[in-house]
A and B are shown apart, each in its own frame.
Chain A
Amino acid sequence: MENERKLTIARAMAEAMAQEMRIDPSVFVMGEDIAELGGVFGNTRGLLEEFGKERVRDTPISETGFIGAAVGAAQDGMKPVVELMFVDFFGVCFDAIYNLMAKNTYFSGGNFNVPMVLMTSTGGGYSDAGQHSQCLYGSFAHLPGMKVVSPSNAYDAKGLMTAALRDPNPVIYMFHKGLQGMGWLGTEAGAITHVPDESYEVEIGKAAIAREGRDVTIVSIAQGVHHGLKAADALAQQGISAEVVDLRSLVPLDRETVRASVAKTGRLIVVDEDYHSYGVSGEIIATVTESNMADLKAPPRRIAYPDVPIPFARVMEQHCLPNADKIAAAARELCGAPVPA
């Protein structure tokens, strides 16, 4: 493609923040190791150099303190972007998130707004064990009052960040480590995409059809979308046409796009790297079965992380994680197709 500008998700996130900081002096960024280091996952690189220490702040390891501070600053006219380095650390600061950030707009009857972005890394697959590998998408999406997004590629990463920064509400921006484009965490080639120079928004709450198909709908988010796309490639060789829906946002959830896809294909597989029970996969299936039972030619399936803490050992972790083979196998079963030789 002419004028193609391929960026990683990490760089796309930083670019969106920089562009918004240039035009909106109320935006500032804080978190652990986000200034001098540019973020452990690279998503704030270059911000300190351009905007200085006042607006790009390394914090002490005090998540309750600085996320609570972001709430207070947001209510006082600023637009803070705060980073919780790994989503797994939400345990030490969740009150600031779900009892303050997510509720103060409602409690105040709208006389306070809480326009802030909380960005946090998700996901495993590289043997970081059970306190550094979780997704926890569903835990955030379950609690009312905060928007929740997670990009699968750099184009969406930039547009969702810009939209989040312009949203008058708190947005949890979850980025999957395996998609960040940091070499030391591996690199998912499909996440590195063309990113326009200029600022743009990707609407929060709109899913994307990542691949069109006729026979089965694969719904996922973030890393799961890439597993779905790889499964779709494999299935195509066998004559099964899979449609892949990238949710991009969990709150609000684009139920219409999911329903319309299943209305077309009649089969549903939800792929979720978060825990199996009480989460995103159940919500998506309920979205379809509550209104579109008649569309389904087979019971829906979910390929999710089993209900166990995430183990360190590679063989055990890989056994638990969703992957393209598991998705393709489920799709073949749903379509009544034989296992290929």
Chain B
Amino acid sequence: MQPAKDTLAWMYEKMVTSRRFENAIEKIYMEGKSPVFNMADGPIPGEMHLSDGQEPVAVGVCAHLEAGDVVTATHRPHHQAIAKGVDLKKMAAEIFGKATGLSGGRGGHMHIFDAEVNFACSGIIAQGMGPAAGAALSRQIQGKPGVAVSFIGEGAANQGAFHEALNLAAVWKLPMVVVVEDNAWGISVSKEASTAIKRNSDRAAAYGIPGHYIPGNDPLKIYEVAGEAIARARRGEGPTLIEVETYRLAGHFMGDAEGYRPDGEKDGLFAKDPIPVMRTSLLADGSFTDAELDGLETSAQAAVDEAIRFARDSADPKPEDALTAVFA
């Protein structure tokens, strides 16, 4: 299943939007943090987990989703949020901790919640799995259309919630798809050192569901496999487990010295940066012209600039607002 041209354009534009957004966040994050790097300082304090390099997974999957479908994401959620259609201005403002943010500054970058497009996060590893199964169950009980996709990292496949929720989804044939972003690392611990098998997709066999491994961080292959899995879920045939080889081009979080990476690993990854790779291939097969791709990049940049401006210009929340919104 090859995406139509407008889908391809959407995928490329969202990948570029995500990357440009993170480039902007990365720069602003460092404001006020030198010469001494203290996480508490600057316009964006706290932890910052960038998703540079992992954009193909987000767009390849979300190209098949509508606003009504459910996504649960992780501590590294920006690319998925952008691909799912989370309001970029309000998301930027949330990352800055502004009153106009999605949660009025209560959540920050690891807790992006946008009910308009059914997007939620947890910073606790694998804890998107249960809620995704629950959303899928709710659709099944209500007879409402829609699927739930849980994005997790490869490290999360060693967490109990992953297995418990997968078994639930399988035994109840829930409309759920689990997408494991295998970036080879869980902070400083390699997949090899932490995981007893090579491919987490093989774990699907334990639950009697289809499992697919997608090498090469290739947005088109991801599009194809995710499309089948999501269509299957929509038909009521149950869950699928997909693992995608992807690349973490940045540190685990900003400030990570990455001393644990083997020499040269980063150079090798940058050479495979999926955005220039996609650009080259779209030009090579003649499906897009330079001017068309430049146009998509320009509009991505404009959206990012607008979002960042909105975030910067927005007011801080009132300090005492911390005490509100605990209960509905």
- Do residues A89 and B194 form an inter-chain contact, with CB atoms below 8 A? no
Separation in Å of the B49 CB from the closest CB of chain A?
12
A64 vs B160: C-alpha distance when bound (angstroms):
8
Return the chain B residue nearest A63 by Cβ: B159
Say whether B77 faces chain A, with CB atoms less than 8 Å apart. Answer: no
Say whether B123 faces chain A, with CB atoms less than 8 Å apart. Answer: yes
Which of A37, A184, A308 touches B37 (beta carbons < 8 Å)? Answer: A184
A72 vs B194: C-alpha distance when bound (angstroms):
20
- Do residues A61 and B194 form an inter-chain contact, with CB atoms below 8 A? yes
- Do residues B38 and A186 form an inter-chain contact, with CB atoms below 8 A? yes
Binding-face segment, B62-70, B280-288, B292-300, B314-322: B314-322
- Do residues A126 and B123 form an inter-chain contact, with CB atoms below 8 A? no
Label chain B's interface by main secondary structure.
loop
- Contact mask A289-332 → B, CB, 8 Å, 1/0? 00000000000000000111101111111111000000000000
Query: Contacts A33-B187, A62-B158, A309-B326: A183 and B124 contacting too (C-beta < 8 A)?
Result: no
Binding-face segment, B19-27, B102-110, B216-224, B236-244: B102-110
Count of CB-CB pairs between chains A and B under 8 Å: 151
List B residues 149-194 near A (Cβ within 8 Å): 155-156, 158-161, 186-189, 193-194
List B residues 12-59 near A (Cβ within 8 Å): 36-40, 45-47
Query: Contacts A33-B189, A184-B39, A314-B45: A92 and B161 contacting too (C-beta < 8 A)?
Result: yes
Say whether A110 faces chain B, with CB atoms less than 8 Å apart. Answer: no
Which residues of chain A are near B206, meaning CB under 8 Å? none
Say whether B246 faces chain A, with CB atoms less than 8 Å apart. Answer: no
Separation in Å of the A335 CB from the closest CB of chain B?
27
A320 vs B319: C-alpha distance when bound (angstroms):
8
Can you sample 20 A-B contacts with CB below 8 Å? A40-B187, A58-B194, A61-B126, A61-B194, A63-B159, A65-B160, A89-B125, A92-B125, A127-B39, A127-B97, A128-B39, A130-B111, A131-B111, A132-B123, A307-B326, A311-B105, A312-B97, A312-B111, A317-B322, A318-B319
A interface with B by C-beta (< 8 Å): 32-33, 36-37, 40, 58-65, 88-89, 91-92, 125-132, 183-186, 306-309, 311-320
